[in-house]
């Protein structure tokens, strides 16, 4: 009985509920083996949360980088637009986050933008 009431209140699969205003795009990259910590993940990941209609990046999360680098990258990427060319964002990271793992971080960022491109190619609503 309870299942029927839930189904009756569900929205059409073709219209997004009012709460679905953002999409999260994730990119990963492997750290060089010489930099990978023995007791944690050897992968850096970058998550970009973007508003569906404007493309504004409203949330950024970085995993696998050191705390100050994580904070710097989160601050540099918040407020950018996911629809823009990723080259500017990647170059900003390269200029300001100077460490042996910055190549992996830049690759993870490029992969997050690539996830957005694939999302758009699949005919998803404009982000």
Taking the C-alpha atoms of residue 25 and residue 22, their distance in angstroms, rounded to an integer, is 10
Would you state the pLDDT for residue 66? 85
Looking at the domain assignment, is residue 14 inside a domain? no
- Residue 71: CB atoms within 10 A of its CB come to 12
Would you state the pLDDT for residue 107? 96
**How many structural domains are present in the chain?**
1
CATH number of the CATH domain containing 54:
3.90.1010.10
- Residue 87's domain comprises 22-121
Looking at the domain assignment, is residue 6 inside a domain? no
Query: In this model, does residue 3 exceed pLDDT 80?
Result: no
Strands 22-30 and 43-51: antiparallel
Looking at the domain assignment, is residue 100 inside a domain? yes
Looking at the domain assignment, is residue 55 inside a domain? yes
Looking at the domain assignment, is residue 107 inside a domain? yes
**pTM listed for this prediction:** 0.78
Q: Distance of CA 48 to CAs 6, 11, 38, Å?
A: 31, 26, 27
| Mean pLDDT (the chain, rounded) | 82
pLDDT digits (tens, 9 = 90+) for 22-56: 999 999 999 877 665 655 678 999 999 999 889 99
Would you state the pLDDT for residue 127? 60
Looking at the domain assignment, is residue 3 inside a domain? no
Looking at the domain assignment, is residue 78 inside a domain? yes
pLDDT digits (tens, 9 = 90+) for 62-120: 998 889 989 999 999 998 999 999 999 999 999 999 988 889 999 999 999 999 999 98
3-state secondary structure of 32: coil
Looking at the domain assignment, is residue 108 inside a domain? yes
């Amino acid at each position: 009985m309870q299942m029927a009431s839930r189904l009756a209140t569900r929205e059409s699969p073709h219209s997004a509920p009012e709460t679905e205003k953002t999409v999260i795009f994730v990119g990963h990259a492997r750290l060089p083996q010489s930099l990978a910590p023995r007791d944690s993940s050897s992968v850096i990941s970058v998550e970009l949360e973007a508003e569906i209609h404007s493309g504004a990046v409203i949330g950024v999360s970085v995993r696998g980088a050191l705390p100050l680098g994580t904070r710097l990258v989160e601050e540099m990427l918040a407020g950018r637009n996911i629809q823009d060319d990723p080259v500017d964002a990647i170059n900003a990271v390269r200029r300001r986050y100077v460490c042996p793992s910055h190549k992996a971080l830049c690759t993870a960022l490029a992969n997050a933008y690539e996830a957005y491109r694939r999302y758009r190619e699949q005919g998803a609503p404009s982000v």
